[in-house]
Each structure stands twice: as C-alpha cells, then as structure tokens.
C-alpha cells in the first residue's frame, strides 16, 4: 500500500510541476505583452516573447527547487528504512548499509551449514544493535550459523562467535 501511495504522490507531483511550468510561461508572456504595450505599442509582441522566455526560466527554476524538495520527501522513508534495518549505530563511524536484497525468508533459514556474508558487517555479543562489537567480518567471508533468534543469527568464524543480521547471510550452496 505504501508503494501505491508513493507512486500516486510522485505522479501527482509530476503533473503539478508541469502545470507550474506551463502557467509561469503563459504568465510571463502575458506580463511581457502588457509591459510592451506600456513601453511601446508597436513592439508589444517582442516583449511578449521576452516575457515567455523569462516565465520559462522562472518555471524551470521553481521546478528544480520544488522537484528537489519532492524528491527528498519521497526518498526520506526509504532512507529511514535503510537506517532502521542497519545493525550499526549512527555514532559508530561505520557506513550504514543494508546491502543487496535477498529472497531468504526466516522459514528457509536453517541452523548449521556454511553461509557467506553478502556485505561487510560487525559481529555483536548479542542479537541486537545495542550489544557491543565482537569483530568485523568482510564481504564473501564464510561462517557457520549456530543459532537463529528472530532477524539475528549467531555465527562462528574460526574461534570467534558473534551475532549479525540474518538478511546479510546467504547459503553457500
């Protein structure tokens, strides 16, 4: 439903931006024509053309600013979703990323077996982002899954065990 609302809002805003551009261009032409009549009755058409150009430029500038604001609003929920899914706190100095999307559901995930990290991540002492760091695991490193707790997996790399988000693990098969 959220995607439908986002697409409808985006489509509506595109229409509004086009209407804004057209109306400002027309308004510029009309204003230029009447300004031309005040200055010189014979050259009113030339002033109308100049007014259209000014209206077009004004419309483009307002659409650039308005479009930027709209794009920011439309992307804000996607950015917040990425931050919420990330298991790295914003003050850690590490880049927050959710990496590639996977089709792994919790029902398909099993304990045991070898798994590959689809992105670099930090292992933690417990199943949550509030637990302290254990170590860093690089992308494409192979680990053994020991346990699953909701969206978190306990993995083992050598002698080191730690928790990570299950969504960044892919079965090695």
**In the sheet that 169-171 helps form, which strands lie side by side, from edge to edge?**
133-137, 121-124, 160-165, 152-157, 142-149, 114-117, 169-171
* Residues in a beta bridge with 137: 121
C-alpha gyration radius of the chain: 28
Q: Is the separation of the CB atoms in 69 and 75 below 8 Å?
A: no
Which pLDDT value is given to residue 77?
63
Query: The tokens 């850690």 sit on which residue?
Result: 92
Q: What are the domain boundaries of the chain?
A: 2-85, 114-171
Which pLDDT value is given to residue 100?
46
Which pLDDT value is given to residue 44?
63
b/e per residue, 44-53, with b = 16+ CB within 10 A? beebbebbbe
Mind listing the pLDDT tens digit for each residue in 109-158?
566 677 888 887 888 999 888 889 888 888 888 888 888 888 888 998 88
Length of the chain: 173
Which pLDDT value is given to residue 96?
42
Is the whole-model pTM more than 0.75? no
Residues of the chain under the 50 pLDDT cut: 87-107
Which pLDDT value is given to residue 162?
92
Please tell me the distance from the alpha carbon of residue 53 to that of residue 49, in angstroms, as a whole number.
Answer: 6
CATH architecture of 114-171: Roll (2.30)
Which pLDDT value is given to residue 97?
44
Please tell me the distance from the alpha carbon of residue 77 to that of residue 75, in angstroms, as a whole number.
Answer: 6
């Amino acid at each position: 439903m959220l995607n439908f609302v986002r697409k409808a809002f985006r489509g509506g805003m595109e229409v509004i931006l086009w209407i804004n551009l057209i109306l400002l261009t027309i308004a510029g032409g009309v204003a230029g024509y009447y300004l031309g009549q005040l200055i010189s009755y014979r050259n009113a058409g030339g002033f109308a053309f100049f007014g259209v150009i000014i209206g077009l430029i004004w419309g483009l500038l307002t659409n650039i600013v308005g479009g930027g604001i709209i794009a920011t609003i439309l992307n804000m929920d996607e950015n917040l979703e990425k931050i919420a899914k990330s298991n790295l706190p914003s003050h850690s100095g590490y880049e927050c990323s959710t990496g590639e999307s996977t089709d792994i559901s919790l029902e398909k995930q099993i304990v045991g077996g070898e798994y590959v990290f689809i992105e670099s991540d930090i292992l933690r002492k417990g199943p949550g982002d509030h637990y302290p760091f254990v170590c860093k695991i690089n992308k494409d490193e192979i680990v053994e899954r020991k346990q699953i707790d909701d969206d978190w997996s306990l993995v083992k790399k050598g002698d080191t065990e730690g928790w990570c988000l299950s969504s960044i693990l892919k079965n090695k098969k």
